[in-house]
């Protein structure tokens, strides 16, 4: 047990960290490993790998992710900004390199081999982008003559251009939605809301007309016609699970669900552990978002308020997209479920993102005014 009188960095960290956040993240990581045991063996066997290939890799990724999250939570807000700036610059460079040297999968270039390890730079781009935009909004609020909002818009344009070039329209919408929410929190005028809303609608229409796969997914979602196999199997898995599930390892639909360990792990949770576990997962994601927004609202520092809000909104949007696709409430889109789905880049990048949240929400020492004592009058001084 760490004593309150201990002044070491670890003791200071323990007594200032938001332990509710930390507990929620650790629970999600633990559930991610459990659901990896449930969802991935069938996929591994289907493609000729050992049964626990993805389970082993999930645990291997989970350990450095945990270390990274805890390590980043020790940083001060200034160090968070510096770390995010370096991370953003590196991610932007890798995004450009990916367009020319990345692996092409289903017509998209999103993955790059770095020292023999496959990396998805866009995953690392997102948390760094949120933190730097929060800093730019803060600088504009602190000194209106600094064009922070303009720089944030230019940065948004650069990021969207790189994502569309891959193309990765799901991440594009995720980044755009998070940025818009942050801009609104930062006091965006209503005129800008209308302008950006019109631009977003125009961009969605262009995506529908330019990219056939986008039009196909939206049409399938609206009409229910075409190849809806994975979504149909996802609904079937959750339906078969009922409230309490079929039991660990007893799921059958997962054996024919191609992406059961990544995009559709939520469906596996429903089949084997029931709607109860799905609601627990939903509750954990909602808890993180609501607690983050509550703590951000109480912050006096604009940078911390914008950054924490943006990070938990990003976390929430990504969770909603994944779960929404699994229950056929949103068009099909490959999006990982934070801390739950298999994937090294997604897991470590999310650990960095939540490490930022832990660092920025640590309790700060209260600033007390110096105590002043009334000077004794002349008669009192003589009497003393």
- 140-179, pLDDT tens digit by residue? 888 888 888 889 989 999 999 999 888 888 888 899 989 9
How many helices (H) and strands (E) the chain has is answered by: 14, 3
Q: Using alpha carbons, select from 40, 17, 95, 24 the residue that is nearest to residue 262.
A: 40
Instruction: Give the mean model confidence (pLDDT) for residues 272-285.
Output: 93
State pTM to two decimals. Answer: 0.88
pLDDT value at residue 198: 82
Alpha-carbon span 231 to 32, nearest angstrom: 21
Tokens linked to 84: 């995010």
Residue 224 pLDDT class (50, 70, 90 cuts)? low
What is the rounded CA–CA span in Å between residue 257 and residue 255?
6
| Cα gap 290→16, rounded to integer Å | 20
Cis peptide, bond prior to residue 167, ω within 30 of zero? yes
pLDDT interval class at 309 (50, 70, 90): very high
For residue 203, the model assigns a pLDDT of 76
Say if residue 88's pLDDT is above 50: yes
Residue 94 near residue 122, CB atoms below 8 Å: no
What is the C-alpha end-to-end distance of the chain, expressed in Å?
50
Position with higher pLDDT, 82 vs 249: 82
Any residues with CB less than 8 A from the CB of 62 and at least 6 apart, and which? 29, 32, 33, 347
With a cut of 80, say whether residue 77 has pLDDT above it. yes
313 Cβ contact partners less than 8 Å away, ≥ 6 residues apart: 177, 178, 181, 182, 289, 293
Give the C-alpha separation, 177 to 173, whole Å.
Answer: 6
194 vs 182: CA distance, rounded Å: 15
For residue 263, the model assigns a pLDDT of: 82
């Amino acid at each position: 047990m760490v004593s309150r009188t201990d002044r070491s960095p670890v003791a200071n960290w323990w007594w200032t960290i938001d332990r509710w956040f930390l507990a929620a993240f650790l629970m999600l990581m633990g559930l991610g490993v459990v659901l990896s045991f449930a969802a991935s063996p069938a996929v591994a066997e289907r493609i000729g790998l050992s049964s626990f290939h993805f389970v082993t890799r999930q645990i291997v990724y989970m350990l450095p992710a945990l270390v990274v999250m805890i390590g980043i939570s020790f940083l001060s807000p200034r160090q968070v900004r510096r770390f995010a700036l370096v991370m953003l610059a590196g991610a932007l460079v890798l995004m450009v390199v990916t367009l020319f040297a990345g692996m092409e999968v289903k017509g998209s270039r999103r993955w790059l081999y770095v020292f023999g390890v496959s990396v998805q730079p866009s995953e690392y781009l997102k948390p760094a982008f949120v933190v730097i935009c929060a800093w730019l909004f803060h600088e504009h609020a602190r000194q209106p003559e600094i064009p922070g909002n303009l720089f944030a818009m230019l940065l948004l344009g650069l990021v969207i251009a790189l994502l569309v070039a891959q193309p990765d329209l799901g991440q594009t919408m995720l980044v755009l939605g998070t940025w818009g929410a942050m801009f609104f929190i930062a006091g965006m005028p209503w005129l800008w809301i209308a302008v950006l809303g019109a631009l977003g609608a125009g961009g969605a229409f262009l995506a529908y007309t330019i990219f056939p796969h986008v039009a196909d997914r939206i049409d399938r979602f609206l009409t229910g016609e075409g190849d809806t196999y994975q979504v149909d199997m996802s609904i079937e898995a959750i339906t078969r699970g009922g409230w309490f599930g079929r039991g660990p390892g007893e799921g059958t639909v997962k054996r024919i669900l191609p992406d059961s360990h990544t995009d559709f792990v939520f469906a596996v949770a429903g089949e084997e552990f029931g709607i109860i576990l799905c609601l627990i997962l939903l509750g954990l994601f909602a808890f993180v978002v609501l607690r983050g927004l509550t703590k951000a609202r109480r912050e006096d520092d604009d940078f911390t308020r914008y950054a924490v809000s943006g990070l938990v909104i990003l976390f929430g949007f990504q969770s909603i997209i994944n779960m929404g696709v699994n229950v056929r409430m949103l068009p099909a889109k490959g999006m990982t479920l934070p801390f739950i789905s298999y994937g090294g880049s997604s897991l470590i990048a999310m650990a960095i993102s939540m490490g930022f949240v832990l660092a920025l929400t640590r309790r700060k020492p209260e600033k007390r005014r110096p105590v002043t004592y009334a000077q004794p009058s002349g008669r009192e001084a003589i009497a003393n």
